[in-house]
C-alpha cells in the first residue's frame, strides 16, 4: 500500500503523452466519446488495446451503438493540464460525451481542494457549454495524507456530481488499488487483468450519461 502511494506520487510529476493521447483531428461521422484522464486511462505499461478505454470501444461496438471512443489521457496529468487540453479537444472533436478521470495526481500532490474543484468545475462547464454530456470518475487518496483532506477530496466528486447533475463513479479504482493481483510489478499501475474491472466501474456512469443515445442492454 505504502509503495503504491509513494511511487504514484513520484510518477505523478512526470507527464508523458500516451499513444492514444494524440487523438485524430479528422472529422468523425460517429458521435464521439472523449476520455480525458491520466495514467489510469492511458494504458500505461500495457498493450494499448488491453486498456479499459479500448475495451469501452469494443463493448460499445458490440451494442446497438455507433459512438467513436477517443482517448486523450496523459500519464501524470492533473486537472490543470486536463482543462487546457479539453478546451482544444472540445473544438476539434465536438464530443457527445466527455468522461473525466482526473484529480488523483492533484490529490497525491496535496493540491488545494479549491484548485481541484475549480479545474474540474471548469471542465464540466466547458463540456456542457459545448453540448457534451459528462461522466465523472471519482478518486480517493489514502488517509495518511490527512484524514480531513482525504475525506474532503472524496466528497468533492460527490459535490460536483450533485452540483452539475452529472453521473458519478464513486471510486474508479474500486477493487483494484489494493489488489496486488491486479497491479503491475511496479505496484503503481493497474495491469491488463484489471482493465475489465475499471471498465465495469466506469460503465454505469457512462451509460447514464449517454441515456437514450446508446442501447446498453
Q: Residues with catalytic annotation?
A: 39, 186, 189
Residue 165's SS3 state is coil
DSSP state of 110: T
Give strand ranges (E) for the chain: 16-17, 32-37, 68-71, 74-75, 97-101, 133-137, 168-169
Instruction: Please state the separation of Cα 22 from the chain's center in Å.
Output: 16
Question: What angle do helix axes 52-61 and 195-210 make, rounded to 10 degrees?
Answer: 50
C-alpha cell at 156: 468533492
Distance CA 151, CA 174 (A): 16
Amino acid at each position: 500500500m505504502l509503495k503504491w502511494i509513494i511511487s504514484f506520487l513520484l510518477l505523478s510529476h512526470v507527464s508523458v503523452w500516451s499513444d492514444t493521447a494524440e487523438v485524430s483531428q479528422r472529422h468523425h461521422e460517429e458521435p464521439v466519446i472523449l476520455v480525458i484522464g491520466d495514467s489510469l486511462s492511458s494504458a500505461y505499461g500495457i498493450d494499448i488495446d488491453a486498456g479499459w478505454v479500448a475495451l469501452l470501444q469494443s463493448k460499445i461496438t458490440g451494442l446497438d451503438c455507433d459512438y467513436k471512443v477517443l482517448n486523450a489521457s496523459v500519464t501524470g496529468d492533473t486537472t490543470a493540464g486536463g482543462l487546457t487540453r479539453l478546451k482544444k479537444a472540445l473544438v476539434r472533436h465536438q464530443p457527445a460525451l466527455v468522461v473525466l478521470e482526473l484529480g488523483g495526481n492533484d490529490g497525491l500532490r496535496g493540491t488545494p481542494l479549491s484548485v481541484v474543484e475549480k479545474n474540474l468545475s471548469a471542465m464540466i462547464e466547458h463540456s456542457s457549454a459545448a453540448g457534451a454530456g459528462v461522466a465523472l470518475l471519482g478518486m480517493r487518496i489514502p488517509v495518511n495524507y490527512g484524514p480531513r483532506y482525504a475525506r474532503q477530496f472524496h466528497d468533492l466528486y460527490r459535490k460536483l456530481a450533485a452540483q452539475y447533475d452529472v453521473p458519478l463513479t464513486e471510486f474508479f479504482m474500486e477493487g483494484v488499488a489494493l489488489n496486488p493481483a491486479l497491479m503491475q510489478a511496479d505496484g503503481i499501475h493497474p495491469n491488463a487483468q484489471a482493465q475489465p474491472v475499471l471498465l465495469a466501474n466506469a460503465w454505469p456512469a457512462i451509460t447514464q450519461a449517454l441515456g437514450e443515445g446508446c442501447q446498453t442492454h
